[in-house]
Amino acid sequence: MKKESTTEAVPNTSCCSGTGSCTPSSAGRRDFIKASGLTVGMLLAGQSAVMAGPFTKDDFEHIVPADKKLSKEWIDSLYARGKALSASGKELKFIGMPVSGIATGQVYLGGDGRLWYWNLDGEPDMKWEDIGKGYKYLKPDTPHSPMDQGFALQVGSSDNKRIFTLDSNGFRDIRFTNQYPMGNVTYADADCPVNVELEAYTPFIPLNRDDSSYPVIVMRYTIENTSDQQQEVAIAGWIENFSNYRTGKENDNGVRQSQYRELEGLSVVECWAKPLGIDGASGESVSENVATPFALANDFGAVAMGLLGDAKPDLVDTMRSLPGATDLFDAQPSNETSREIQQRPFSDQAFVSMGRSVKVQPGESKTIAFTLSWRFPNARHVTGFGRKEWTRDVNYYSTQWPSASDSAATVAAREKELRDTTQTWVDTWYDSTLPYWFLERSFIPIDCMQTQLAQRLALQDGRYALDEGVTCCEGNCTHVWHYAQGLARLFPVIERECRDKVDFGLSFKDDSGAMNFRCSTKTFREAVDGQCGTILRVLRESQMTTDYRFLESIWERTRLTMDYVIKRWDKDQDGLLSGDQHNTLDKAWNGKIHWLINLYHAALKASAQMARQMDQPKAAERYESLVAKGAASMVDLLWNEDFGHFVHIPERKPEQTIGSTTGCHIDQVLGEFWLRNLGLDPVLPQDKARKALASLWKYNFSPNVGDFRAVERSGRWFAAEGDAGLIMCTFPHGKENAQKTNFHRYFNECMSGFEWQVSATMIWEGMLEEGLAIGKAIYDRYLPKDRNPYNEVECGDHYSRALASYSAFMAMCGYRYDGPEGKLGFGPRMQQENFRAAFTTAEGWGRFSQTIEGGRQDNTIELRYGKLSLKELTLDTATNAKVTKAKTTVNGRDIEAQSQFQPERAVITFAKSLDLSAGQTLQVKLS
Q: Between 764 and 36, whose confidence is greater?
A: 764
Q: Quick check: helix, strand or coil at residue 480? A: helix
Asked whether residue 33 carries a pLDDT value surpassing 80, the answer given is no
Residues 485 and 800: beta-carbon distance below 8 Å: no
Band (28; pLDDT cuts 50, 70, 90): very low
Question: What average pLDDT does the chain have?
Answer: 91
Report CA 436 to chain centroid distance, whole Å.
17
DSSP state of 5: P
Band (739; pLDDT cuts 50, 70, 90): low
Q: Considering the chain, tell me which residue range(s) the CATH 2.70.98.40 domain(s) occupy.
A: 86-423
Q: Between 522 and 670, whose confidence is greater?
A: 670
Radius of gyration of the chain (CA): 28
In order of 512, 606, 627, 631, 648, the CA distances from 574 in angstroms are 21, 18, 9, 10, 17
Residues 40 and 759: beta-carbon distance below 8 Å: no
Residues 353 and 316: beta-carbon distance below 8 Å: yes
Give yes or no for a cis peptide into 140 (omega within 30° of 0).
no
Asked whether residue 195 carries a pLDDT value surpassing 90, the answer given is yes
DSSP state of 550: H
The pLDDT of residue 128 is: 59
Which pLDDT tens digit goes with each residue over 157-189? 777 899 999 999 999 999 999 999 999 999 999
Categorise residue 116: left if φ over 0, alpha if ψ from -120 to 50, beta otherwise.
Answer: beta
In order of 186, 358, 621, 749, the CA distances from 222 in angstroms are 9, 12, 63, 45
In order of 384, 668, 750, 758, the CA distances from 700 in angstroms are 36, 13, 10, 11
Kindly state the percentage of the chain with pLDDT values over 90.
Answer: 83
Distance CA 634, CA 768 (A): 27
The pLDDT of residue 443 is: 98
Which pLDDT tens digit goes with each residue over 572-603? 999 999 999 999 999 899 999 999 999 999 99
Residues 149 and 239: beta-carbon distance below 8 Å: yes
φ, ψ (nearest 5 deg) of residue 259? -165, 145
Most confident option among 437-451, 647-661, 728-742: 437-451
Asked whether residue 383 carries a pLDDT value surpassing 80, the answer given is no
DSSP state of 919: T
Band (744; pLDDT cuts 50, 70, 90): confident
Entry pTM: 0.93
Residues 29 and 60: beta-carbon distance below 8 Å: yes
The pLDDT of residue 18 is: 32
Q: Considering the chain, tell me which residue range(s) the CATH 2.60.420 domain(s) occupy.
A: 814-926
CATH fold group of domain 86-423: Beta-galactosidase; Chain A, domain 5 (2.70.98)
Please choose, from the candidates 839, 878, 883, the residue with its C-alpha nearest in 3D space to the C-alpha of residue 861.
839
Which pLDDT tens digit goes with each residue over 221-249? 999 999 999 999 999 999 999 999 999 99
Asked whether residue 763 carries a pLDDT value surpassing 70, the answer given is yes
Q: Please give the full DSSP string across 98-125, using - where no structure is assigned.
A: E-SPTTS-EEEEETTS-EEEEE-S---S
Asked whether residue 255 carries a pLDDT value surpassing 60, the answer given is yes
Which pLDDT tens digit goes with each residue over 891-916? 999 999 999 999 899 999 998 999 99
Residues 128 and 135: beta-carbon distance below 8 Å: no
Asked whether residue 4 carries a pLDDT value surpassing 60, the answer given is no
Q: Quick check: helix, strand or coil at residue 581? A: strand
How confident is the model over 364-390, as a mean pLDDT? 88
Query: Which CATH architecture does the domain made up of 814-926 adopt?
Result: Sandwich (2.60)
Band (734; pLDDT cuts 50, 70, 90): confident
Which pLDDT tens digit goes with each residue over 488-500? 999 999 999 999 9
Report CA 698 to chain centroid distance, whole Å.
28
Distance CA 445, CA 447 (A): 5
Residues 242 and 146: beta-carbon distance below 8 Å: yes
Distance CA 316, CA 234 (A): 12
Report CA 533 to chain centroid distance, whole Å.
18
The pLDDT of residue 592 is: 97
How confident is the model over 499-524, as a mean pLDDT? 94
**Intra-chain end-to-end CA distance of the chain, in Å:** 46
Least confident of 5-19, 348-362, 829-843, 861-875: 5-19
